[in-house]
Amino acid sequence: MSDECRVCLLGLIFLSSLLTGVSGVDDAHVFISSGENVHLPCNNALHDCTSTTWNYNRFRDSAAVELIGLGIKKKDTESHERLSLGSDCSLNIKAISTEDYGSYICRQYLNDKQQGTDSRVYLHVLHVSSSQTEISAGLSVTLFCQLYSYTGVSCDDLIRSERIQLFWVNQAGVKLTRSDSRYQILSSSDPCIITLNTTLLNEDDNREWRCEVTQRDQVKTSVTYCFGLCFGRGLE
């Protein structure tokens, strides 16, 4: 092979890696709001879930935790009470928290030998919090919206590869922008965090603001925060 062909081949391999992104071709991304229940698919399941094992890790360098072993739920995990195995070998988790984000791997074993390849699911959890616990007209309030994610890379790489965006909308569904004099939309050094700052008015009683996350221009999940009569429930 000529030197020019080698250079062309290396260029195509590099371009392919950029287009593929940070995760594998068959990897799934699931977005969920904190407090909700989630269903994680197992795309390599065999006919019998007694061959299914689910492993989890939150960080790239952390040791994997076995949640389900050969169809049996492990009792020594923190999330034990919230886990269940679906009839299709999917992993169901109740009342998702910001501690549940991470990488979930479904594997199949027969006679102690792994069958096929891993089925990996990246779970991303959207959460909103407020700088104030008590509210009144004239009070400045900051709402923090964060997407908790793990793909083994930085949030910057995740956002670029999966075309993920975070933004705030009002209760009419209109996207809030930095040009709106009533609101300050602030991005932090972490692109997976976006904040909304505003001074509350009397007419804001029972008003809602919503943080949405999109992937490839499609809304994946959202969290609504409201003040006034609905302040007791806060997040929806």
Tell me the whole-structure pTM to 2 decimals. 0.82
Phi/psi zone of residue 201: left (φ > 0), alpha (ψ -120 to 50 degrees), beta? beta
pLDDT band at 13 (very low <50, low <70, confident <90, very high): very low
Domains, the chain, with CATH or none: 25-125 (2.60.40.10), 127-230 (2.60.40.10)
Backbone angles phi, psi at 87, to 5 degrees: -65, -20
DSSP state of 100: S
Q: Render pLDDT for 38-90 as a digit per residue (tens, 0 to 9).
A: 999 999 998 889 999 999 998 877 889 999 999 999 988 888 899 999 999 99
Beta strand residue intervals within the chain, DSSP E:
28-33, 38-40, 52-57, 65-69, 72-73, 83-85, 91-93, 102-110, 113-130, 140-148, 164-170, 183-187, 193-199, 208-215, 218-226
CA 97 to the chain's CA centroid: 11
Q: Is the pLDDT of residue 3 over 70?
A: no
The pLDDT value recorded for residue 81 is 92
Question: In whole angstroms, what is the distance from residue 128 CA to residue 33 CA?
Answer: 9
Q: Render pLDDT for 155-177 as a digit per residue (tens, 0 to 9).
A: 888 888 889 999 999 878 889 98
Helix (H, G, I), strand (E, B) or coil at 172: coil
* Residue 46 structure tokens: 């065999």
Averaged pLDDT score across all residues of the chain: 83
Phi/psi zone of residue 62: left (φ > 0), alpha (ψ -120 to 50 degrees), beta? beta
Residue (of 182, 178, 177) closest to 207 by Cα position:
182
